[in-house]
A and B are shown apart, each in its own frame.
Chain A
Amino acid sequence: MKGDHSEHSGKHVTENGKVLELILIDDAAELRGILRRLMERSGLIRVVAEANLANEASDLIKMYEPDAILLDLAMPGGGALELIEQLRSERKSLTIIVLSGYPASSTAHECLERGADRYLEKGQPTSILIGEILEAHTKRKEQL
């Protein structure tokens, strides 16, 4: 089931008694702001930091040690794919979710190959996004 907060709430969050901490990395400030509001409103995810460039993200991840990151692919200066690869080799427990404006058919394969856990398309209802993030995080923890 993708799209119901309460089910995910029961399955993924209350089990651990911990809200998922996430860093948002996207160059679109308004989109970041509204996603943050929607995610935090769900009570399942807490956005601990935001970055608008891929190369800013590494420092924030070291500082906040989040459970997951939500990463845009196309940003000024690029570097998203390299960041995925670097994070995957350094942090096995970090859940990496790509949230992109490009259709999954064109770029998802490379992101997943480099170590992303999920590839999500922008514009999907936040209930689906949240469900996917939580599910991916649970799977990531199971793999450890």
Chain B
Amino acid sequence: MPTRLNRDYKHDVSFTWRARHAIVVSLALLLLPILLTIGARSGVSVMQSSVPILIAGLFAVLAASERITDALRPLLATLSLLTGGALLVWVGGGSLVTHLVFVALVTVGTLYHDWLAYLVSVSYIWLFYVILGGADPSAIFGGLAIETPYIGVVIASTSTICATTGMISWLIVDASQQRRTELETALAKAAERQHQAMEIHDNVVQGLATVVYALEAGDENLANDTAGKTLDNAKDLIGRLLMIEGADLSDFLDRSEPAQERGEE
């Protein structure tokens, strides 16, 4: 049964997803002029850098588009960020700072809490650092390749650890939020049950008290009328309670003790 709390939770999840998406896409778009500037300063011609920068930009624009499904948009935004990060390493001559920024960008991608985006990020990193870095170390690592022979594996591993930590922390937070929502839903249900129980109690006690006083006053008609009405109301309230609970009637037909037994103890 959909509850207000469940609806609120889904609304919150959707809101936070959109906020995160806006951050990632903005970051990916912001990276583009920075890449052009750094590229121009480090002697990379606009002709050389424009195509990959346009690809990164295209990913970002598609990620921002409402026409693309919500399932694909994180992937596109992540690809834009990663391509931007890889380009930054290239136009920056493989300096340590550009590698650090790339690792940070990979971690930003985990904001989505999306397993597909995570897998693409990790694969991208390993492809870039280990395969491409292995084929042409000086293009990606510059002077670092000579100082540290396994630098590609070190950076790829560090990025993977950062991204995985982000995903694990998301799993923990999400599980605790789900648990909290479940507990709040259970509490709301318990409060509703308690309210129904109070209504049944009130109705039955008021009715029976009236019957007792009517009999004391010798007014049998009022006693009979009230007893009948109380019985009808009690049945109606119990029926509504069972409907709220979505109970299966057969569960309640097997009594633990005969009717009236408790009152006779």
- Contacting B at CB under 8 A, from A19-47, are 28, 30-31, 34-35, 37-38, 41
Q: With A and B bound together, what is the CA distance between A28 and B219 in angstroms?
A: 17
Taking the complex as formed, is B231 at the interface, i.e. its CB lies under 8 A from any CB of chain A?
A: no
Residues of B within 8 A of A34 (CB): 210, 213-214, 217, 219, 222
Taking the complex as formed, is A17 at the interface, i.e. its CB lies under 8 A from any CB of chain B?
A: no
- Contacting A at CB under 8 A, from B206-241, are 206, 208-210, 212-214, 216-217, 219, 222, 226
Q: B207 CB to closest chain A CB, in angstroms?
A: 8
Q: Say yes or no: A123 contacts B216, CB within 8 Å.
A: no
Q: Say yes or no: B209 contacts A31, CB within 8 Å.
A: yes
Q: With A and B bound together, what is the CA distance between A102 and B198 in angstroms?
A: 9
In-complex Cβ contact of B205 among A30, A37, A41, A122 (8 A): A122
Chain A residue with the shortest CB-CB distance to B213: A34
Residues of B within 8 A of A126 (CB): 213, 216
Residues of B within 8 A of A31 (CB): 206, 209-210, 213
Residues of A within 8 A of B210 (CB): 28, 30-31, 34
Q: B147 CB to closest chain A CB, in angstroms?
A: 77
Residues of A within 8 A of B219 (CB): 34
Residues of B within 8 A of A10 (CB): none
Q: Say yes or no: B205 contacts A123, CB within 8 Å.
A: yes
In-complex Cβ contact of B209 among A37, A74, A122 (8 A): A122
Taking the complex as formed, is B202 at the interface, i.e. its CB lies under 8 A from any CB of chain A?
A: yes
Q: Say yes or no: B222 contacts A74, CB within 8 Å.
A: no
Q: Say yes or no: B216 contacts A125, CB within 8 Å.
A: yes
- B 127-158 to A, binary, CB cutoff 8 A, 1 in contact else 0: 00000000000000000000000000000000
Q: B7 CB to closest chain A CB, in angstroms?
A: 28
Taking the complex as formed, is B201 at the interface, i.e. its CB lies under 8 A from any CB of chain A?
A: yes
Q: Say yes or no: B213 contacts A38, CB within 8 Å.
A: yes
Q: With A and B bound together, what is the CA distance between A41 and B213 in angstroms?
A: 13
Taking the complex as formed, is A79 at the interface, i.e. its CB lies under 8 A from any CB of chain B?
A: no
Q: Say yes or no: A30 contacts B222, CB within 8 Å.
A: yes
Q: Say yes or no: B216 contacts A38, CB within 8 Å.
A: yes
Q: Say yes or no: B201 contacts A38, CB within 8 Å.
A: no
- A 109-144 to B, binary, CB cutoff 8 A, 1 in contact else 0: 000000000000011011000000000000000000
In-complex Cβ contact of A35 among B205, B208, B213 (8 A): B213
Q: Say yes or no: B209 contacts A101, CB within 8 Å.
A: yes
Q: Say yes or no: B202 contacts A74, CB within 8 Å.
A: yes
Residues of B within 8 A of A30 (CB): 210, 222, 226
Residues of A within 8 A of B209 (CB): 31, 101, 122-123
In-complex Cβ contact of B217 among A28, A38, A74, A101 (8 A): A38
Q: B211 CB to closest chain A CB, in angstroms?
A: 9
In-complex Cβ contact of A122 among B198, B206, B217, B226 (8 A): B206
Q: Say yes or no: A101 contacts B213, CB within 8 Å.
A: no
Q: A101 CB to closest chain B CB, in angstroms?
A: 3
Chain B residue with the shortest CB-CB distance to A74: B202
Q: B132 CB to closest chain A CB, in angstroms?
A: 72
Report which residue of B198, B202, B213, B219 has the largest number of chain A beta carbons within 10 angstroms of its beta carbon. B213
Q: With A and B bound together, what is the CA distance between A112 and B217 in angstroms?
A: 30
Q: With A and B bound together, what is the CA distance between A101 and B212 in angstroms?
A: 13
- A 86-125 to B, binary, CB cutoff 8 A, 1 in contact else 0: 0000000000000001100000000000000000001101
Contacts A35-B213, A38-B217: A101 and B226 contacting too (C-beta < 8 A)?
Answer: no
Contacts A28-B210, A30-B222, A122-B209: A101 and B216 contacting too (C-beta < 8 A)?
Answer: no
9 example contacts (A-B, Cβ-Cβ < 8 A) are as follows A30-B222, A31-B210, A34-B210, A34-B214, A34-B217, A38-B213, A74-B198, A122-B206, A126-B216
* Chain B residues near A (Cβ < 8 Å): 198, 201-202, 205-206, 208-210, 212-214, 216-217, 219, 222, 226
